[in-house]
Chains A and B, each alone.
Chain A
Amino acid sequence: MASGSPVSHASALLIQLGAVLFVLGLLGRLAGVVKVPVIPLYLLAGLAFGQGGFASLEESQEFISVAAEIGVILLLLMLGLEYSAGELLGNLRTQAPVGALDAVLNAVPGAAVALLAGWGAEAAVALAGITWVSSSGVIAKVLSDLGRLGNRETPSILGVLVVEDLSMAIYLPLLTALLAGSGVAGVTLAVVIALVTVTTVLIVATRFGRQVTRLVSTDDAESLLLGTLGLTVLVAGIAQELKVSSAVGAFLVGIALSGTVAETAVELLTPIRDLFAAAFFVFFGLSTEPGSLPGVLALAALLAAIGTLTKLATGYVAAARSGARRRGRWRAAVALVPRGEFSVVVAALAVQAGAEPRLGPLTACYVLLTIIIAAAISGVPDRLAATPRRRGSSQPVAA
């Protein structure tokens, strides 16, 4: 290497990639110590690295963008794997009214704000999705960390998340078709395809789950990993080609796989998902110009304030329906506030397709704010006065 020559492309790629991953590792440890979700930290890291940030990542940006695409696919695949078709159908049946309330309360403000700002119909549909869906990843982690898995209100919280995730299987194709400029007929077709596919997959998974599973079933971990991953990326690619959204394709593969294969696949794919999902969040931060953040901060704060109130209402009603008492209702209300991966997925999709560019920084701010607000108020319900029932010596529960 001649002295003074710039670092070669290949080595610059490795150095940048290594540095990014190393920093993410440190952030992950930090998140573990201070008990905050790691998603906002990844977003901030992306913002810090990106264009206009502290360090440029020119050489590795292309690689990270491909990794980000796989990250979305893996996020959705794992989501599908974690739910069984039975769970999805059962929750859809019991939680549908709350799910509808959730959709109306939380999607409408986003759509309204985008329309008022004059960003157009596509951005309105996108922003509706961004403000609508809570973060399954963040919420499941918080519930587990706070020891609330056994609480009586918890199934109703998870039920709302299930309905949201399932609704995404219709919403994402709708958005994808809309962004592709397909017109009314094209959008209707995409939604019909999505509805038919989702219904078919749910029926096939409940009736013939074993046969589908046999396609990739094997005792060998390596071939199971490659088989599942291959099948998923293949289906995702085909779904993308059909304008039904690659993410939804991956989600449906996850639902269709069941039994021991699903369990083993979750075990094998979790570390890979973590890697590529991190790349996804970083890439989103990377492609957002930090200089554009101040301009959307006020709007993001307004949306976050509305979004907090509407989610509080959703959670309160969901828990009340399941018979939880006052504190339980407020715990459920607070739990649903954080937005996360889905909002980012929707924003990335919209910005890539050339919709309103301010959706990117707006979503980054919005996600960060909702997570911060949720963390700040998560302890409040437990400090509420107990239901007034204490009379003299209430018998302590034996521990």
Chain B
Amino acid sequence: MTVTISSRGLPGIGVCQELELADGSRLGIVTRRSGKRDLLVYGADDPDAASARVVLTEPEANAVAEILGGPQLLTALAGLHGDGLVVEQLPVPPSSPYAGRPLGDTRARTRTGASIVAVLRDSTAITSPGPEFGLRGGDLIAVVGTQAAVDQLAAILDGTNGTNGTDRTDATPPAS
């Protein structure tokens, strides 16, 4: 089942996405550069304007996203385990050769096949970081891949390619 989402850029401010719901009503989400989100319900008699609106701070938006998206994420992750994939959080130690460099420099996907799905920094998650995203020492990287690929990436991040990383924290118990 697909939901129609149209997106329009707001130069200098951010982006606005509009969802057409099955009952004909329409929902809007404005994501501002500042991180604030406007949650909108469009009116019936004036289709161009929002008839109701709440403004969410970034943590509030994350909380809403977690409530809405949590169950789905768990289902998706549970499914992954069946295919021999693991999800792990790998640390970027301050001594890492990639601390202070863009994520793209790790060439994680080409070298290991593992996918970086998020970077956790200061207890917030930056999802789907782009190649230009700057890594810092102390970041945690959420990775999906085979156990071998994830181990290899851990070694790359530690700067000890070839040997296993030593101090990484597992987000999930090893898949059996």
Q: Residues of A contacting B79 with CB < 8 Å?
A: none
Binary flags per residue of B1-27, CB closer than 8 Å to A gives 1, else 0: 000000011111110101000000100
A158 and B133 contact, Cβ closer than 8 Å, known pairs A153-B48, A396-B44, A397-B41: no
Residues of B within 8 A of A (CB): 8-14, 16, 18, 25, 28-30, 32-33, 38, 40-53, 100, 102, 132-134, 136
Q: Closest Cβ of chain B: how far from A189's Cβ, in Å?
A: 31
Contact check, A140 vs B12: say whether CB atoms are below 8 A apart. yes
Where chain B touches its partner, the secondary structure class is: strand
Which residue of chain B lies nearest to A266 when distances are taken between CB atoms in the complex? B33
B-contacting residues, A84-130, CB 8 Å: 87-88, 90-91
Is the beta-carbon distance between A149 and B8 smaller than 8 angstroms?
A: no
When A153-B48, A328-B46 are in contact, do A82 and B12 touch as well, CB less than 8 Å? Answer: yes
The answer to whether A158 and B11 touch (CB under 8 A), given A147-B50, A149-B30, A327-B46, is yes
* CB atoms of B50 and A151 under 8 A apart: yes
> Is the Cβ of A87 less than 8 Å from the Cβ of B48?
no
Interchain CB contact (< 8 A) of A399 among B30, B38, B52: B52
Q: Mark A385-399, 1 if CB is under 8 A from B, else 0.
A: 011011000111111
Candidate in B10, B30, B45, B46 with the most chain A CB atoms within 10 angstroms: B46
State which size class the interface on A falls in. 35 or more
Say yes or no: A386 contacts B11, CB within 8 Å.
no
- State the A residues within 8 Å of B (CB): 79, 82-83, 87-88, 90-91, 136, 140, 144, 147-155, 158-159, 161-162, 210, 217, 219, 259-260, 263, 266, 324-325, 327-328, 331, 382, 386-387, 389-390, 394-399
- Determine which of B46, B48, B52, B136 lies in contact with A219 in the assembled complex, contact meaning CB atoms within 8 Å: B136
Task: Report the bound CA distance from A149 to B32 in whole Å.
Answer: 9
Docked-complex contact A325 and B32, CB < 8 angstroms: no
Asked if A260 and B134 sit within 8 Å, CB to CB, the answer is yes
Inter-chain CA distance A159–B42, complex, in Å, is 22
Instruction: Find the A residue at minimum CB distance from B6.
Output: A152
* Cα distance A147–B136 in the bound complex, in angstroms: 36
Please give me the residue from chain B that is nearest to A323 by CB atom: B48
Contact A162 B11 (CB under 8 A): yes
* Contact partners of A324 in chain B: CB under 8 A: 48
Q: List 22 A-B contacts (CB under 8 A).
A: A79-B12, A82-B11, A82-B12, A83-B12, A88-B11, A90-B9, A136-B12, A149-B30, A150-B28, A150-B30, A151-B48, A152-B49, A155-B10, A155-B16, A259-B132, A260-B134, A324-B48, A394-B44, A394-B45, A397-B41, A397-B43, A397-B51
